[in-house]
Amino acid sequence: MAETTYIDAIRRGLLEEMERDAAVFLMGQDIARFGGAFRATKGLYERFGRLRVVNTPLFESGAIGAALGAALAGKRPVVEMQFADFVSCGFNQIVNNLAKTYYRWEAEVPVVVRLPYGGGVGAGPFHSQSPEAWFAHTPGLAVVAPSTPRDAIGLMKSAIRDPNPVIYLEHRVLYRREKEDLGEGDLTTPLGRARIAREGSDVTVLTWGWTVHEALDAAAEAAKSGVSVEVVDLRTLVPLDEETVFAAAKKTGKIVVVHEATATAGYGAELVARLADLCFEHLDGPILRVAYPDRPSPYNKNLEKELLPGKAKILDAVRRLARY
């Protein structure tokens, strides 16, 4: 069976939803013939034509605002940002308009905003950020971040079908690196459900996106020295799957929260707060956090590598906590 990459899984999700529902259409810069900056929409223009794979001028606010309007008028737009960092130019449309339209009028706005995000390729301070916390902080938005091809397609399909605006974070390093055999069928992943990526009994790692793979590598390494690590891939940050997350946390009582975004006021802080509040009796140590230091991303690739919360840093935290 042929393996599907993460980015091809995203494309397949878009394609299948466009075939299933004529209201689904795509908007973005250079997404038509060019296929988008990362070629995520390659071939879709040829298949669905210019009314459903729409190139916009170079703007983000205009695109997201127009998507909201189209959604109010019955469409299901999927808007591509070329890089997640540029979504800042569409911030008002997301946090004020997209997020609160249902609250004001009970009008559903099924808009998906795709954010290619993350560092690791020496892209510098404005093309490397992980902005999930900006949106997790805003009530009214769902926030998802798949780490595997299976969830890339599954969450894409579910996000498009969801009646709420969904911020869909797709990690650029995973695009062509992660591959798996997806098989046939309508592969959805429900929003709001975490996944146990690896079972373990000593320490629990809670994470999402690129760091899921780093945590799995760290877990494999820890196993060699007899430390059994459970890795939870959150997949959806909002709404959080408290049931799965809390169960995994209680199982070991030792928790490491890992994310690529900067530490202060990152989504990990929210997890730590909820665990401290709702799982306190089950904790056997401090909850540790492994995140990017509170610094912008450097352009120099080697320096960036040192700062990223990769396998070695996770392993360190796991070992420290296991000994506790």
Partner 1 sequence: MTNQHDALLDLYRQMVLIRRFEEAAAKAYSQGKIGGFLHLYIGQEASAVGALSTLTRDDYVVGTYRDHGLALARGMSARSCMAEIYGKVTGCSQGLGGSMHFFDAERRMMGGYGIVGGHVPLAAGCAFAAKYRGSGEVALCFLGEGAVSIGDFHEAMSLAALWKLPLVTIVENNEYSMGTPLSRTMSVADSSTKALAYNMARDRFEAKDVLVVRERIGAAVERARRESLPTLIEVQTYRYRGHSMSDPGKYRTADEVEARKKDDCIANAERSLRALGAGDDVFARVDQEIEAAVDDAVRFADESAEPGEELIEAYTYA
* AA letter at 286: P
- Residues in 253-282 that interact with ligand TPP by CB under 6 A: none
**How far is Cα 319 from Cα 232, in angstroms, rounded to an integer?**
17
**How far is Cα 74 from Cα 138, in angstroms, rounded to an integer?**
24
Is residue 300 part of the contact set for partner 1 (CB under 8 A)? yes
Question: Among ligand TPP, partner 1, none, what binds residue 285 when CB lies within 5 to 8 Å by partner kind?
Answer: none
Is residue 246 part of the contact set for partner 1 (CB under 8 A)? no
**How far is Cα 282 from Cα 254, in angstroms, rounded to an integer?**
9
> By C-alpha distance, which of 7, 85, 3, 79 is closest to 42?
7
Is residue 61 part of the contact set for partner 1 (CB under 8 A)? yes
* Least Å from the CB of residue 34 to ligand TPP: 10
* Least Å from the CB of residue 320 to partner 1: 21
- Residue from 23, 72, 89, 247 touching ligand TPP (CB under 6 A): that is 89
Active-site positions? 127
Is residue 82 part of the contact set for ligand TPP (CB under 6 A)? yes
**How far is Cα 25 from Cα 42, in angstroms, rounded to an integer?**
14
Query: Which residue number, 77 or 192, has a Cβ lying nearer to ligand TPP?
Result: 77
Q: What are phi and psi of 207, to 5 degrees?
A: -160, -175
- Residue from 91, 102, 246, 299 touching partner 1 (CB under 8 A): that is 299
First to last CA, the chain: 45
Is residue 260 part of the contact set for partner 1 (CB under 8 A)? no
Is residue 295 part of the contact set for partner 1 (CB under 8 A)? yes
Is residue 85 part of the contact set for partner 1 (CB under 8 A)? yes
Query: How does DSSP classify residue 89?
Result: G
* Least Å from the CB of residue 127 to ligand TPP: 8
Residue in this structure with the two tokens 């079908």, named with its chain if needed: 161
* Least Å from the CB of residue 37 to ligand TPP: 7
Question: Among ligand TPP, partner 1, none, what binds residue 5 when CB lies within 5 to 8 Å by partner kind?
Answer: none
* AA letter at 19: E
Task: Decide if 41 contacts 14 (C-beta within 8 A).
Answer: yes
Task: Decide if 259 contacts 214 (C-beta within 8 A).
Answer: no
Question: Among partner 1, ligand TPP, none, what binds residue 303 when CB lies within 5 to 8 Å by partner kind?
Answer: partner 1
75-102: buried (b, 16+ CB within 10 Å) or exposed (e) per residue?
Answer: bbbbbbbbbbbbbebbbebbbebbbbbe
Is residue 58 part of the contact set for ligand TPP (CB under 6 A)? yes
Query: What track of x and - describes contact with partner 1 for positions 5 through 44 (by CB under 8 A)?
Result: ------------------------xx--xx--x-------
Question: Among ligand TPP, partner 1, none, what binds residue 34 when CB lies within 5 to 8 Å by partner kind?
Answer: partner 1
Query: DSSP letters of 38-80?
Result: T-TTTTHHHHH-TTTEEE--S-SHHHHHHHHHHHHTT-EEEEE
Is residue 86 part of the contact set for ligand TPP (CB under 6 A)? yes
Question: Which region among 81-89, 193-201, 213-221, 268-276 touches ligand TPP (by CB under 6 A)?
Answer: 81-89
- Residue from 5, 21, 42, 59 touching partner 1 (CB under 8 A): that is 59
Cα–Cα distances (Å) from 78 to 52, 162, 232, in that order, read: 10, 12, 28
**How far is Cα 92 from Cα 319, in angstroms, rounded to an integer?**
43
* Least Å from the CB of residue 36 to ligand TPP: 11
The site for ligand TPP (CB under 6 A) is made up of: 29, 58, 60, 82, 86, 89
